[in-house]
Amino acid sequence: MANRSDLDFLRSVSLFKEIAEPHLGTLSRRLRERRLRKGEVLFREGDPGQELFLIREGSVVISKPVMGRVEQVLARLGPGEFFGEMSLFDQSPRSATVQAEMETVLLSLDRDNLHQLIEVSPSTAAALFYQLVRVFIQRLRDTGSLVAEVTRWGLEATGLDIEHKFPG
């Protein structure tokens, strides 16, 4: 990987928007392509993981099992989006299930290649880490808002009046 089309694709991914083009070439050589068939599961919640995925073509559904065979869709992601970044940094199992909605082409960056990137090009790694921190912050904010909304729904569903003062 490292032709003009590949570099243009990487430039379209928010993680790499601050990375200079020569460093994108360095990074692109560390990415591996993976193809999924429609309906194919890339990984399930609880599986081990050590790589981040970029969606080059197609789309995936990210979900979490709720009860039995019921899954809650957390997100649908398409070209230029990414997922799996937590597994680059921790040894924890995957936190959700990812399945291809259609024929999908992914590019992956695994932990070993990330460590090599840090050694070979610390400035590229620093730019990548900066963007990852921004993504983590936004996703944390979104999760906090979702927790507040779900809590409100739960209170409304139970009929609990949180404005009512209880005798003390």
The answer to whether residue 50 scores a pLDDT higher than 50 is yes
What's the gap between Cα 79 and its chain centre?
A: 12
* Proportion of the chain above pLDDT 70, given as a percent: 93
Q: Integer distance in angstroms from the first to the last C-alpha of the chain? A: 68
Q: Measured between alpha carbons, how far is 158 from 18 in angstroms, rounded to an integer?
A: 47
Average of per-residue pLDDT across 98-113: 96
Who wins on pLDDT, 100 or 144?
100
Strand partners, 76: 61
Q: What pTM was estimated for this model as a whole? A: 0.81
Tell me the fold of 4-158.
Answer: Jelly Rolls (2.60.120)
Structure tokens at 59: 């789309």
Coil, helix or strand at residue 84: coil
- Per the document, the length of the chain is 168
pLDDT band at 83 (very low <50, low <70, confident <90, very high): very high
For residues 31 and 14, is the Cβ–Cβ distance under 8 A? no
Residue with tokens 């590019």, as numbered in its chain = 107
Res 96: pLDDT: 93
Highest-pLDDT range among 20-24, 47-51, 139-143: 47-51
Sign of the dihedral through C-alpha 87, 93, 97, 102: positive
Least confident of 32-36, 40-44, 120-124, 157-161: 157-161
Res 102: pLDDT: 98
pLDDT band at 43 (very low <50, low <70, confident <90, very high): very high
DSSP letter at 165? P
Task: Report pLDDT digits (tens) over 145-164.
Answer: 777 877 877 887 887 666 65
All structural domains of the chain with their residue ranges: 4-158
Res 168: pLDDT: 56
